[in-house]
Amino acid sequence: MEGELRVFIVAGEVKLKETVEAAFHFRPHVVVTVDSKGFSFRLLKQLRARYDQDRADGPIHFHYVAPSFWAWKGGEARLKGLSKFVDHLFCILQNEEAVCRSNGLAATFVGHPILEDVLELNMASRVALCTSGTVAMELQLARLPCLVTYRAHFLTEWFIRFKSKIPYISLPNILLDSPVIPEAPFQTCTPAKVAFLLKELMNNVELQQQQILAAEKVMELIRPSIRTVDYSEQQGMNRTPPTYSPSMIAASTILGYNQR
């Protein structure tokens, strides 16, 4: 098992080094990394060090999806160190922008990316069973009531319970600070428990309606307020983007960013 893991670690290190060198020789004006913080932050950190070593002006570093500092004890304190290799963060949750800025990290709330692709899942199902993750948000915004489950090794469960400072495992519940969506995490995720909760949800229209109504509140929390984005200074044109989608707001921020 250890040997198999070592192979993947070595391969990851090789790929990281290759990516840093490729980016350095390409000489981009901007580097945008998306989520995958374990890889992305190491890439940005090493790339900045590579340019500093060469005493050259490096690209502007943007990262899409802020780390979940709000979920872990001591998470906010780690934000200060990011400013050494991240110039601007794109936040997908409303409260993240202000916290990042208060810790010396430039940030923009762009909204959750699933706003651009809400699925019509409620046309084919009454309720859904899902794991904790983005799918819970997708089901919520599709107005499809669901039950969220999550199983993990007992050591992983212990670590999460020790480090986490939030009582829920699904993002809609975290945003609303309320158990609107039923959850069966860790040791409570048994066939009997899941069957009981799922049957209760299927047969209780009131519980289903609570989730559907809560979706409107969730939508308000992940959607940025309408803002006007002017490209005229960068492109010599007086026009605004046709939509205020998360990707459009992120793109306009990059285009209008002035390197310090």
Residue 234, domain member (yes or no): no
Provide the residue range defining the domain that includes 161.
115-222
The pLDDT tens digits for 120-151 are 655 668 899 999 988 999 898 889 999 999 99
Assess whether 23 and 81 both reside in one domain.
yes
Mean pLDDT computed over 6-34: 89
Number of domains within the chain: 2
Mark which of 109, 126, 154 sits at the end of a domain.
Answer: 109
Tell me if 147 sits within 8 A of 127, measured CB to CB.
yes
Residue 18, domain member (yes or no): yes
Assess whether 152 and 169 both reside in one domain.
yes
Cα 212 from Cα 135, distance rounded (Å):
15
Assess whether 94 and 138 both reside in one domain.
no
Which whole-number Å values give the CA distances from 61 to 107, 214, 253, in the listed order? Answer: 12, 36, 12
Residue 235, domain member (yes or no): no
Assess whether 55 and 92 both reside in one domain.
yes
Residue 137, domain member (yes or no): yes
What integer pLDDT is reported at residue 56 of this predicted model? 84
Tell me if 27 sits within 8 A of 57, measured CB to CB.
no
Residue 37, domain member (yes or no): yes
Assess whether 195 and 155 both reside in one domain.
yes
Cα 66 from Cα 77, distance rounded (Å):
14
Mark which of 74, 109, 144 sits at the end of a domain.
Answer: 109
Short-list 220, 229, 217, CA closest to 253: 229
Residue 120, domain member (yes or no): yes
Residue 236, domain member (yes or no): no
E strand or H helix that includes residue 144? none
Assess whether 125 and 214 both reside in one domain.
yes
78 pLDDT exceeds 80?
A: yes
Assess whether 105 and 10 both reside in one domain.
yes
The overall average pLDDT reported for the chain is 85
Longest dimension (CA), the chain: 66
CA angle 126, 131, 132 (to 5 degrees): 115
Assess whether 56 and 130 both reside in one domain.
no
The pLDDT tens digits for 202-241 are 999 999 999 999 999 998 888 887 654 444 344 443 444 4
Residue pointed to by tokens 């010599």: 236
Dihedral over Cα of 97, 177, 208, 196: its sign: positive
7 pLDDT exceeds 50?
A: yes
Assess whether 126 and 199 both reside in one domain.
yes
Residues 6+ apart with CB under 8 A from 228: 240
Tell me the whole-structure pTM to 2 decimals.
Answer: 0.76
Assess whether 131 and 105 both reside in one domain.
no
Q: What is the 3-state secondary structure (H, E, C) of 3-16?
A: HHHHHHHHHHHHHH
Assess whether 98 and 143 both reside in one domain.
no
Residue 180, domain member (yes or no): yes
Strand ranges in 172-218 using DSSP code E only, listed in sequence order = 183-185
For residues 57-80, one letter each, b for 16 or more C-beta atoms within 10 angstroms of the residue's C-beta and e for the rest, the string is: ebbbbbbbbbbebebeeebeeebe
Token digits of residue 68: 């979940």
